[in-house]
Chains A and B, each alone.
Chain A
Amino acid sequence: MSDRGQAFTLEAITASLLLIGGLVFALQATAVTPLSASTSSQHIENQQQAAAEGVLTTGLDDGSLRRALLYWNDSANDGSGGFHDAREEGYYVDKTPANAFGRSLNRTFTSRNIVVNVYVYYEEAGREKQQRMVYRGEPSDNAVSASTTVTLYEGARLYAEDGSPATTTITNDTFYAPNATSGGSYNTLRVELIAWRQ
């Protein structure tokens, strides 16, 4: 005891390091998700995923998704075309389309502070090209996605802004997707919906 000098502080620091080391090890060994407060939650992501699937499936079933794909104004933006009443890029950035599919998106996502991007992929010369329908920005890391496919046939008509069928049929000139097949089908579109909490 009498000749130990500064040993006590050193021992306390060693013991503390051991304790904190044990705590850090325990922290690393447990899942962090329930501890960290964030907008990410597996349950919420599951709900968004299921809602996205529901919107696409019901839209496909009642035809509103097909009508939304054909909701195209071929003379907009000096002839380069765009969705009805969209911004000059040709797609919606600050709202959803004014048709049944858009209202369905609104009710399910926008009204609950979830934002969605809707991309339409089509085939052009054997490659997959993308046309945006709704673009609200870059999705977050916790975004979910769902997709479905819609086949368009030759002779299908575009829809006017008020939702009624227009006289214009879809051709390489009037529609964003070109005629990709020689048969009666026109092109197969894949609709991808990406949803995330803003």
Chain B
Amino acid sequence: MSGEGQRGQTVLDFAVGVSVFLIVVAFVLTFVPGMVQPFQESTQQETAASDRLADQLAADLLAENVSTPYVLDRGCVAAFFALENSDGDDANDADVYTDNDGEVRSTLFDIKDSNLYGAGDCTFDTSNGVFERLAVGGSDFDVRVSLTADVDDDGDPGLLCLDAGDSSTDEPERGDSIIETDDPYAGSDGCDMSNEHDIAFETANEPPTDSSSVVVARRHVSVAGGFEDGSNAATLVVEVW
């Protein structure tokens, strides 16, 4: 007892000291990973890319004139989204997308014979594929570009589509009317990409349904020449994942 009697409260003191220290160590260890997490799992790359692509499309690639950004040229928009043109190869009738396989017939029209645009009208090179035009060809993210507006006035903006005509041989022309469609492959509302040469204004690869990793950028644009109902305002949507 005499040896212990000189030690004061050491046993209690030791217990308190060690537990305080251990609690703090545990707190720090759990807190630090949470601090770094937003940087590790962020969609920084996609965010920057979606913003760049939307700006590039609205102000340069599809713009009628570089001095009037957000005003899109009708012919260039159609030429940009035309399936036949998506791989940049005039001779190849297939398109570059995989998500619409089986829905589009194999013989597409020849875009180089159409009057959609003149030589040098569009700032992108039609001998490049869609993803090369957007300069995302070699990157590891995927892109969908679409142009939407509420043309049928149902309060719900839908995909726009250049209606080339009801015959399967009608080729798209600059003056063809632009309509709104719910499903460009169904053909129920005038736009039929399965049997006609209509051009829906979207690139066909679908974003994953798990939407947490899809970054969206929007631009308010107008299309020169207007739509079926006389309006001309549309929303350009760029999704990157």
Query: Which residue in B55, B70, B150, B218 is a CB contact (below 8 Å) of A58?
Result: B70
Q: Which of A39-71 contact B (CB under 8 A)?
A: 43, 46-47, 50-51, 53-55, 57-58, 61-62
Count of chain A residues near B, Cβ 8 A: 39
Chain B CB within 8 A of A7 CB: yes
B18 touches A58 (CB 8 A): no
Q: Which of A1-42 contact B (CB under 8 A)?
A: 1-13, 15-16, 19-20, 22-23, 26-27, 30, 34-35
Residues of chain A lying within 8 A (CB to CB) of residue B9? 5-6
A115 to chain B, nearest CB (A): 16
Chain B CB within 8 A of A147 CB: no
Chain A CB within 8 A of B6 CB: yes
A140 to chain B, nearest CB (A): 20
Chain B residue with minimal CB distance to A103? B233
Chain B CB within 8 A of A87 CB: no
Q: Which of A148-194 contact B (CB under 8 A)?
A: none
Residues of chain B lying within 8 A (CB to CB) of residue A2? 3, 6-7
Chain A CB within 8 A of B105 CB: no
Count of chain B residues near A, Cβ 8 A: 43
B6 touches A55 (CB 8 A): no
Residues of chain B lying within 8 A (CB to CB) of residue A35? 35, 38
Chain A residue with minimal CB distance to B48? A43
Chain B CB within 8 A of A104 CB: yes
Residues of chain B lying within 8 A (CB to CB) of residue A107? 150, 157, 220, 233, 235
Residues of chain A lying within 8 A (CB to CB) of residue B35? 26-27, 30, 35
A146 to chain B, nearest CB (A): 11
A20 to chain B, nearest CB (A): 7
B220 touches A108 (CB 8 A): yes
Chain A CB within 8 A of B58 CB: yes
Chain A CB within 8 A of B45 CB: no
CA distance A50 to B9 in the complex (A): 68
CA distance A163 to B7 in the complex (A): 95
B24 touches A34 (CB 8 A): no
Q: Which of B189-241 contact A (CB under 8 A)?
A: 215, 217-222, 232-233, 235
CA distance A107 to B234 in the complex (A): 9
A50 touches B20 (CB 8 A): no
B220 touches A34 (CB 8 A): no
A8 touches B51 (CB 8 A): no
CA distance A10 to B16 in the complex (A): 10
Chain A CB within 8 A of B186 CB: no
Q: Which of B30-79 contact A (CB under 8 A)?
A: 31-32, 35, 38-39, 42, 47, 51, 54-55, 58, 68-71
Query: Which residue in A12, A13, A23, A51 is a CB contact (below 8 Å) of B31?
Result: A23
Query: Which residue in B6, B18, B20, B219 is a CB contact (below 8 Å) of A51?
Result: B219
CA distance A16 to B23 in the complex (A): 9
Query: Which residue in B32, B58, B70, B222 is a CB contact (below 8 Å) of A23?
Result: B32
B17 touches A8 (CB 8 A): yes
Query: Which residue in A4, A5, A9, A104 is a CB contact (below 8 Å) of B220?
Result: A104
Which B residues are within 8 Å of any A CB, using their own CB? 3, 6-10, 13-14, 16-18, 20-21, 24-25, 28, 31-32, 35, 38-39, 42, 47, 51, 54-55, 58, 68-71, 150, 157, 215, 217-222, 232-233, 235
Given contacts A30-B35, A47-B51, 12 further A-B contacts (CB under 8 A): A2-B6, A3-B7, A12-B17, A20-B28, A46-B51, A50-B58, A53-B70, A57-B69, A58-B220, A61-B68, A61-B71, A104-B220
